[in-house]
Amino acid sequence: MLSDLKKAMWVSLMIIIVSGLLALFSASFQNSRVTQEVFYNQLVFSILGVVAIFFLGRVDHRRYYDLAYIAYGINVFLLVAIFLFGYYALGAKRWIEIFGFNFQPSEFMKLSLILALARYYTDHKPKVSFYNPWSRPAIVSDFFIPFAMTAAPAILIFKQPDLGTAILLVGIFFVMAFAAGVSTKHLGGFLGVCLLAMPILWHMMKPYQKDRLLVFLNPNVDPLGAGYTIIQSKIAIGSGQIFGKGWLSGTQNQLNFLPERHTDFIFSVIGEEWGFVGSVIVVVCFYLLILSGLRAVEQTKEKFSHLAGAGIVAIFALQVIINIGMVLGLCPIVGITLPFVSYGRSSFLVCILMFGFLLSLARQRKMF
Amino acid sequence: MRLKSFKVIITFSFIILIVGLGYTQIFQGEYYQQLSVSNCIRVVPVHSNRGRILDRNGIALADTLAAFDVLVIPQELQDRDELFSFLGSVLGFGQGRIDAIYQRKRTASFAPVVIAEDVPREKAIILEENKFRFPGLLVQVRSRRHYPFGEAGAHVLGYVAKMSQERIERLKEYGYTIDGVMGYSGIEEQYDQMLRGVNGGLQIEVNNRGQQVRVLGMKVAHPGEDVMTTLDARIQQIAQTLMREQRGVIIVMNLDDGAILGMVSAPSFDPNDFASEAASNNRVRYFTDTRAPLFNRAIRGQYPPGSVFKIPVAIAGLYTKKINPHTTFVCHGSYTLGNRAFRCSHTHGAQDFTQGLGHSCNVYFFNTGLIIGPKLMEEYARLFGLGVFIKIDLPYEERGHVPHPDGFRARRWSKGDTLNFSIGQGDLLVTPIQIVNMIATVARDGRQIQPYIAQSIGAHAQPQGQVARVIHLPKNILDQVKEGLRAAVAGEGGTARAVFMKDLLVLGKTGTAQSSGNQEHHAWFVGYCPSAKTRIAFCVFLEYGGSSYNACRVSAQLLKEMKALEIL
């Protein structure tokens, strides 16, 4: 028998994957710009993924502890390799080809960083409140070392340039440090420093990244470039109204008004064709998935798995919130995918690995 | 426990998402539905005005004018015959011809067909006034690049044309779009980013009749910046006229700050031909002409320098003390090496250093070359900027070639190679701009100046008068060499007597370089005017121009006309 927790996770996951596949089929339906191949790729991947999740859920999650630093090291190495051998797509250098298989190390970096930070904070327990938190050793070991572990890949990814993923990595750091119990004074102070450093970051950004942030603040700044996407995406979602235009009938989608609609903007297809009702069902499924993940994490006593699980749940939640938020024009367009829905093999595979880990936490519970 | 706060934050965020969805889909749903159903968003690009290119006195060398194009939109056409006969009467074509153009160019019913380009303003106004009578007629304003001086200095300016696929791929990230134009070669390419400005546009909502209802968003176009060059339009025209029947190069550079006052490469092309559809035949001719009119010989042409190269050889000899000003060699009209005779232009007899340089005696420099050896000549060639990029602010500069006696690829370096090398023949290749740079370095006592063409972009002044490198040479050596350069122009039997002017001090060196095959020789004269009102270094190079005498005559004419305009 499946436990209730696992059942809830599986059901919401299946609804999300199926709605994603339907949206992808529609986005590529009788279309020259996005070929149907995209759909079939994702279909095959989804089936393989579900099988993989089934087995990953049975792996002992403590095994990840041993792998954490190795995975992190290989991943950083691959990010460096991208500078030397990577190739460009959509204006950014993100892909690398290994054994004829293209993949994006930056996607995997999210998981690798979570595992590495979880292990770090397991090995070096943050020194909470027993003595002055501003003492030097506490700052260095609670803070600077793990932050350096985050900053190295984040800078490499930022340079690709992929602002969204770089921001996610920094987000992971804060989430992990918070979950590990690092003093909130530290975190708050550091967050302040990061905000103060924003102007410097602004200076380093590519023109199109600046544009996107500006467009977020005012979509009318650039109605032809990034603003066009937001306006078109809002038109797509809004015109879905309550019940949607029906599957394969979204005019915004079918008439090619939506750029990037099979990847970052896939949710606008769902919004247009399935309306408020369909969108809310998908959003609620994500919410259930995340909450049940959080439940599984809460019940895990083991430090490493607990931390890693918290990181994974947080990154899931962040991606869902940012992606749907940006499609609705609530956050800047930063190029973050919607887990299990957006087309993209690397992103899908990472989601599978992460979900498998959460599932193994849920399974663990039965041993008690 | 801290996970609790996660739950709170996540729940709160999801509530916001659902509220956002509700607001967009239910509250604003009707409005967006309207927008999507009527498919009524149009993007209207607003092109930025390209900056001008100015000469040093503010005269426009490249300008942007408005051009009016006449278009017809097939799907909106109602009475075709009436429209075409009206168009024919205004434009002065027969109705049949307009019909033929329309038939030939028509692709899709919604794609406008260009009937006539660059229609005179008065006619455009007549058409515009009658537009309401003829649905489907469209008069479009387009900005067109105009080069008032046509062929003069076309290579320095470059031209503007539609982007090629390869460039679009490369430049997408920098905000270039497919429909845009960009600068090709010359200043137009070098400073394209500054000249082009930023395109703007309007995103408008239109009703079902195509009329604008409201503006959803707008982005203001920023005009490009003007680039002020160091060129003098008068010098450009003088040089262009002198080179009309020739192939070759004239470069005039300010000795004091490295500003290029004139640069002309011949044969030339008219950059206006790239701005109009009608001149496509001329464009084809430019690309297929074997004399390569698009090729900027001043910075890309690589030629043997001939006797001009004797200047660095002389300096190398004096500096290493292998020869001195009194070293004398006897010229019997040729130099025999093994069974081969290396010829001189005349039988000069005994020649000291100044005579050797002034008469450009090959035998004198064969001897000097053998004494100092090829490696030293290579070193001095590079020291004076030959075989090295000058880094002038124009694209696609060539580097030339200085042979490398140690690692000579073709065969073992022989004494014959040394003899050829010492008079600037053999494998040595230089660009005219390098030669001007070389003579300027001599004139400036070893302080190599950085040549440049753009003196300001918008309100920003560009670096000027920068000393690129200092070659430490004793003054007496340079004075000796200058004495030889003076003798070439003013001395008895000097090779450049044709350049001599009573009221203007000119120093310089001629060169007659063998070209490959049985073609005529290349002719060089490179010189400088150290005491003129504007101190200049200049070079006249005639490709297959025969004797250097021809280059001297052109030089004299150039200086005379510049003097008449009180530039010198």
Which DSSP string corresponds to B362-388? HHHHHHHHHHH-HHHHHHHHHHTTTTS
Over residues A46-66, the mean pLDDT reads 85
Cα–Cα dist A209/A165, whole Å: 13
Q: Do B10 and A251 touch (CB under 8 A)?
A: no
Interface check for A242 against chain B (CB to CB < 8 A): the answer is: yes
Sign of the four-CA dihedral B296, B301, B307, B310: positive
Residue B195 belongs to domain with CATH number? 3.90.1310.10
Over residues A156-182, the mean pLDDT reads 84
Cα–Cα dist A153/A83, whole Å: 12
Q: What's the pLDDT score for residue A368?
A: 43
A54 contact partners, CB below 8 Å, separation of at least 6:
none
* B62 and B74 within one domain: yes
Over residues A52-65, the mean pLDDT reads 84
A144 contact partners, CB below 8 Å, separation of at least 6:
none
Phi then psi dihedrals of residue B274, to 5 deg: -85, -10
- Residue B390 burial by CB count (10 A; 0-12/13-18/19+): exposed, middle or buried? buried
Pairs across A and B, CB distance < 8 A = 137
Q: What's the pLDDT score for residue B339?
A: 87
Residue of B nearest to A228 (CA): B203
Cα–Cα dist A169/B472, whole Å: 56
Q: What's the pLDDT score for residue B249?
A: 96
Query: What is the DSSP secondary structure assignment for residue A290, as one 8-state letter?
Result: H
Please report, in tens digits, the pLDDT of each residue of chain B (568 residues total). Answer: 578 888 899 999 999 999 999 998 888 888 888 777 665 666 666 778 889 999 999 999 999 888 888 888 777 777 888 888 888 888 888 788 888 888 887 776 666 788 888 888 888 888 888 887 887 788 877 778 899 998 998 999 999 987 776 666 666 555 566 556 788 889 999 998 889 887 776 666 665 555 666 776 666 778 889 999 999 999 999 999 999 888 999 999 999 999 999 999 999 999 998 877 777 788 888 888 888 999 999 999 999 999 999 999 999 999 999 999 999 999 998 999 888 888 898 899 999 999 999 999 999 999 999 999 999 999 999 999 999 999 999 999 999 999 988 876 667 888 889 999 999 998 899 999 999 999 999 999 999 999 999 999 988 888 888 888 899 989 999 999 999 999 999 988 889 999 999 999 999 999 999 887 778 899 999 999 999 999 999 999 999 998 999 999 999 999 999 999 988 8
Give the number of C-alpha atoms closer than 13 A to the C-alpha of residue A321, restricted to the C-beta side: 18
Helix H segments across A59-162? Answer: 63-85, 105-123, 136-139, 145-158
Q: What's the pLDDT score for residue B118?
A: 81
Beta bridge partners of B72: B113, B137
Domain boundary among the residues B175, B210, B229 is at: B229
Of B3, B17, B36, the CB nearest to A321: B17
**Domain residue spans in chain A?**
4-367
Interface check for B37 against chain A (CB to CB < 8 A): the answer is: yes
Q: What's the pLDDT score for residue B94?
A: 79
Helix or strand or coil: residue A293?
Answer: helix
Over residues A154-164, the mean pLDDT reads 80
Q: What percent of chain A is predicted at pLDDT more than 70? A: 79
* B253 and B191 within one domain: no
Q: Give the confidence band of A255 by pLDDT, cuts at 50, 70, 90.
A: low
Q: Which of A:210-229 have CB within 8 Å of B?
A: 219-224, 227-228
Q: Do B173 and A283 touch (CB under 8 A)?
A: no
Q: Count up the domains in chain B and report the number.
A: 2
Check whether A1 has a pLDDT greater than 50.
no
Cα–Cα dist B176/A112, whole Å: 37
How many other C-beta atoms can be found within 10 angstroms of the C-beta atom of residue A89? 11
* Residue type at position B483: E
Interface probe for A, chosen from B1, B3, B43, B198 (most Cβ of A below 10 Å), is B3
Residue of A nearest to B3 (CA): A179
- Tell me whether residue B364 is in a domain: yes
* B456 and B323 within one domain: yes
Q: How many residues does chain B have?
A: 568
- Tell me whether residue B208 is in a domain: yes
Residue (of B228, B214, B155, B215) closest to B185 by Cα position: B155
* B464 and B356 within one domain: yes
Cα–Cα dist B101/B97, whole Å: 6
Residue of B nearest to A329 (CA): B20
Q: What's the pLDDT score for residue B379?
A: 93
Q: Give me the interface pTM, i.e. the ipTM.
A: 0.86
Cα–Cα dist B327/A116, whole Å: 79
Interface check for A172 against chain B (CB to CB < 8 A): the answer is: no
Separation in Å, CA of B202 to nearest CA in chain A? 7
DSSP A87-105: EEETTEEEEEEETTEEE-H
How many other C-beta atoms can be found within 10 angstroms of the C-beta atom of residue B475? 9
* B89 and B219 within one domain: yes
Residue (of B307, B426, B317) closest to B367 by Cα position: B317
- Tell me whether residue B392 is in a domain: yes
Domain boundary among the residues B179, B206, B229 is at: B229
Contact list in A for residue B16 (CB cut-off 8 A) is 325, 330
Q: What's the pLDDT score for residue A367?
A: 46
Calculate the CA B379 to chain-centre distance.
29
How many other C-beta atoms can be found within 10 angstroms of the C-beta atom of residue B324? 12
- Tell me whether residue B290 is in a domain: no
Report how far apart the first and last C-alpha atoms of chain A are (Å, whole number).
Answer: 16
Residue B493 belongs to domain with CATH number? 3.40.710.10
* B204 and B91 within one domain: yes
Separation in Å, CA of B458 to nearest CA in chain A? 21
Q: Do A317 and B13 touch (CB under 8 A)?
A: yes
Range(s) of the domain holding residue B503: 233-268+295-564
Query: What is the DSSP secondary structure assignment for residue B359, as one 8-state letter?
Result: T
Q: Give the confidence band of A235 by pLDDT, cuts at 50, 70, 90.
A: confident
Strand B227-229 relative to strand B454-457: parallel, antiparallel, unpaired? Answer: antiparallel
Query: What is the DSSP secondary structure assignment for residue A144, as one 8-state letter?
Result: I
Phi-psi map region of A234: left, alpha, beta (phi>0 left; psi -120 to 50 alpha)? alpha
Interface check for A128 against chain B (CB to CB < 8 A): the answer is: no
User: What is the maximum span of chain B, computed from C-alpha positions, in angstroms?
Assistant: 106
- The full 3-state SS of B423-463, as one line of letters, equals CCCCCCEECHHHHHHHHHHHHCCCEEECCECEEEECCEECC
* B211 and B262 within one domain: no
Q: What's the pLDDT score for residue B485?
A: 94
Helix or strand or coil: residue A48?
Answer: helix
Treating both helix axes as pointing N-terminal to C-terminal, what angle do B310-319 and B475-490 enclose, rounded to 10 degrees? 140
Cα–Cα dist B251/B253, whole Å: 7
Report how far apart the first and last C-alpha atoms of chain B are (Å, whole number).
Answer: 87
Separation in Å, CA of B399 to nearest CA in chain A? 29
* B512 and B559 within one domain: yes
Q: What's the pLDDT score for residue B52?
A: 92
